[in-house]
Amino acid sequence: MKKLRISFNSIVPAESPVHLLAFRQLKSYLDFQGAGSSLDISFNLFLADQHPRDMARHIRDQGPDMAAFSVYTWNAVCIRTVCGMLKEEIPGVSAVLGGPYATGMARELMADGSVDFIVKGAGEAVFHRFLEEYGAGGSRFENVPGLLYRRNGEVFENAEDGVFDVGVQDYPLDVKEGDSELFYYETSRGCPFKCRYCSWSTSERVIRFYPREKIRRDLEAIFELRHVKYLGLCDSDLFINREHGLWVTGCINRLNRERKRKGWPEVNLSLEINPEFLDDEIIDALLELPMGANIVSFGLQTVDEKVHRDHLDRRFHKEAYTRNIKRLYEKAARKGLGEKVGRTTFVEIIHGLPGDSYQGFRRTVDYIFSELGMTNFISYRFQLLPGSYFWDHARDYDLVCREEPPYLLVSSDTFSEDDLERAERLVFFMYLFSRVFRAIANYVGRNVAEGRLEVYEKIIDHLSRSYPEVMAELAKHYHPSHEDEAIIRMLKYRTDKDFMELKYKIVREAREIVKEHLRQAGKSENGGPRPRSRREP
Ligand code: SF4
């Protein structure tokens, strides 16, 4: 019997060339269900900056019957273009889309004649059922829950069939495909929360954990891949269930000890954690993780509790958030890991949040620098994600967004276009202080106890007025979400001799601004009250 030829196409950011987890899972699930023997599956890895025509031709040369894509806001435009070109290259091919964007925009995508099927929600079971019907001629697609298909030119959409329970899935993950240093994995799926900006906010608020035996087996297989150096955990938050999180980090620490014994590099983690979940035991487990290039991001979005409560439908307890981050840094410092932890943890915020304002955004930045004492943060411009609460309620907030994905905010009832520009300017300069002019951030951190943003704003004004060309040049190399790339490009400036001299000059001038600020506030350089001069009364 002729096998059905399927190509799984991961179109990923250029700086992160790694297969999407969804396709590994699909293939593993199909193999486990015994469907693999009738399928001939090939994996393609494309970088989002490749030309869509090259992608379409590469797929064409493999001669597939079906081409599948996992769609996110950032690759949606590219995938639609590739699907259109694919139809020109191989008219009979079936284009199948899945993933979060395809789920939220299913009807709109099907209106495009180059898309044949959409698999909504968790893909494994739906895709398996879909393939069974596809192989049988496609006369009973109405029996596949969560499928959109076209018949006689009309689009049909089948209702989804509840949550795919990963808690009973025992299929071993196929880890063979690819040789990237980064490997994506998840130990749970779903989220019990409903943050209104998130595309999961309108889905069922359920989190399910994979069976421990499966996780242990999968992790062992991944850690047997010598080329893997980073494990990107896709869980919404590993410590939503502390026992689960501790068990997983315990597994990872054990497997890393085995790698060390073999003389292999340890595997670093990249994960998101809500600091409110941290306690002493979790902190100890985190500090045991290798500290080479872990990236732990703390979602904050805004420091305004009212915005969280009234607009984002998100629980946020500032006191617990602040206390636990400080506790992490104190423990790290006691273990001699302060600098490493400081370098590899950062806060994520959003500018342009519905209900927030530019002044609110300033307070958030000041909170990070003044109260948390951190300098690493990333701020994303608000995006209107299909499938999110705000997508359905954009009018309530006068949300005006770009028409193309990723639907970046242009203005809202509380954030004007000017406000967004000001916010982005502030983010850029704060990025410079944390990455390029670290000496300034260190000096401010040592000498200004509170209201640090006000001091930074004075320095920003000075830099903008005195060095407009240098700042414009640095801005050209800056990209907020491609952090490593941006740093590498900026570091070239740091090693340039002329720039080093200029940098020292800028740092000296910034220090004078800080001193003047302290003088005006009646403070000494270490933040305490300024000692009276003998001549003062
Ligand atoms: S933003 Fe994170 S915590 Fe909030 S609903 Fe989405 S996954 Fe859950």
Distance CA 326, CA 315 (A): 20
Give the position of tokens 């915005």. 307
Q: Ligand 1 within 6 A of 193 CB?
A: yes
| Whether 265 contacts 273, CB under 8 Å | no
Closest Cα to residue 286, out of 300, 303, 269, 266? 269
Which SS3 state, helix, strand or coil, does residue 42 take? Answer: strand
Residue-wise pLDDT tens digits, 108-164: 999 988 999 999 988 889 999 999 999 999 999 999 999 999 999 999 999 998 778
Considering the domain architecture, whether residues 188 and 302 belong to the same structural domain is answered as yes
Burial of 171 (0-12, 13-18, 19+ CB in 10 A): middle
Distance CA 356, CA 389 (A): 16
Nearest residue (by CA) to ligand 1, atom 4, is 195
Strands 377-381 and 345-351: parallel
Collect contacts of 397-403 with beta carbons under 8 A, ≥24 apart.
397/311, 397/354, 397/355, 399/354
Considering the domain architecture, whether residues 442 and 335 belong to the same structural domain is answered as no
Q: How far is the CA of 371 from the centre of ligand 1 (A)?
A: 24
**Residue 360's domain is classified under what CATH number?**
3.80.30.20
Residue 427 lies in a domain: no
Considering the domain architecture, whether residues 56 and 39 belong to the same structural domain is answered as yes
Question: What is the per-residue pLDDT for 532?
Answer: 41
Closest Cα to residue 71, out of 2, 148, 134? 148
Nearest residue (by CA) to ligand 1, atom 2, is 236
Residue-wise pLDDT tens digits, 463-504: 999 999 989 888 887 776 555 566 666 666 667 777 788 889
| Whether 149 contacts 117, CB under 8 Å | yes
Indicate the top mutation candidate among 186, 188, 195 to test ligand 1's pocket, ranked by most ligand atoms within 8 A of CB.
195
Considering the domain architecture, whether residues 254 and 362 belong to the same structural domain is answered as yes
Q: How far is the CA of 154 from the centre of ligand 1 (A)?
A: 35
Residue-wise pLDDT tens digits, 285-317: 999 998 665 678 999 999 999 999 999 999 999
Helix (H) or strand (E) holding 70: strand 66-70
Residue 409 lies in a domain: no
**Residue 58's domain is classified under what CATH number?**
3.40.50.2300
Give the position of tokens 């079971």. 125
Per-residue tokens: 315: 């629980």
Distance CA 518, CA 511 (A): 10
Closest-lying ligand 1 atom to the alpha carbon of residue 199: 6
Residue 405 lies in a domain: no
SS (H, E, C) 311-340: HHCCCCCHHHHHHHHHHHHHHHHHCCCHHH
Q: How far is the CA of 325 from the centre of ligand 1 (A)?
A: 19
Percent of the chain with pLDDT over 70: 93
Q: Which of 335, 361, 393 is the last residue of a domain?
A: 393
Q: How far is the CA of 18 from the centre of ligand 1 (A)?
A: 23
Domain that holds residue 332: 166-393
| Whether 372 contacts 325, CB under 8 Å | yes
Considering the domain architecture, whether residues 124 and 177 belong to the same structural domain is answered as no
Distance CA 29, CA 123 (A): 10
For the CA atoms of 308, 309, 311, 316, the dihedral, rounded to the nearest 10 degrees, stands at: 20
Lowest mean pLDDT among 77-86, 90-99, 160-169: 160-169
Considering the domain architecture, whether residues 241 and 373 belong to the same structural domain is answered as yes
Q: Ligand 1 within 6 A of 198 CB?
A: yes
Q: Which of 393, 424, 449 is the last residue of a domain?
A: 393
Q: Ligand 1 within 6 A of 471 CB?
A: no
Q: Which of 157, 176, 211 is the last residue of a domain?
A: 157
Q: Ligand 1 within 6 A of 44 CB?
A: no
| Whether 156 contacts 142, CB under 8 Å | yes
Considering the domain architecture, whether residues 317 and 173 belong to the same structural domain is answered as yes
Considering the domain architecture, whether residues 118 and 192 belong to the same structural domain is answered as no
Distance CA 254, CA 466 (A): 54
Nearest residue (by CA) to ligand 1, atom 6, is 198
Residue 209 lies in a domain: yes
Distance CA 312, CA 197 (A): 7
Considering the domain architecture, whether residues 384 and 500 belong to the same structural domain is answered as no
Residue 108 lies in a domain: yes
Mean pLDDT of 422-437: 91
DSSP 523: B
Domain count, the chain: 3
Find residue 207's DSSP bridge partners.
Answer: 190
The pTM (predicted TM-score) of the whole model is 0.89
Considering the domain architecture, whether residues 129 and 106 belong to the same structural domain is answered as yes
Q: How far is the CA of 77 from the centre of ligand 1 (A)?
A: 24
Residue 419 lies in a domain: no
Question: What is the per-residue pLDDT for 537?
Answer: 28
Closest-lying ligand 1 atom to the alpha carbon of residue 197: 1
Percent of the chain with pLDDT over 90: 75
Q: How far is the CA of 196 from the centre of ligand 1 (A)?
A: 9
Residue 402 lies in a domain: no
Q: How far is the CA of 193 from the centre of ligand 1 (A)?
A: 6
Q: How far is the CA of 369 from the centre of ligand 1 (A)?
A: 24
Q: How far is the CA of 307 from the centre of ligand 1 (A)?
A: 16
Mean pLDDT of 368-376: 90
Considering the domain architecture, whether residues 31 and 88 belong to the same structural domain is answered as yes
Considering the domain architecture, whether residues 92 and 149 belong to the same structural domain is answered as yes
Q: Ligand 1 within 6 A of 191 CB?
A: yes
Q: Ligand 1 within 6 A of 277 CB?
A: no
Q: Ligand 1 within 6 A of 195 CB?
A: yes
Helix (H) or strand (E) holding 44: strand 39-47
The phi-psi region of residue 272 (left if phi > 0; otherwise alpha if psi is between -120 and 50; otherwise beta) is beta
Residue 343 has pLDDT above 70, yes or no: yes
Residue 238 lies in a domain: yes
Q: 366 vs 376, which has greater pLDDT?
A: 366
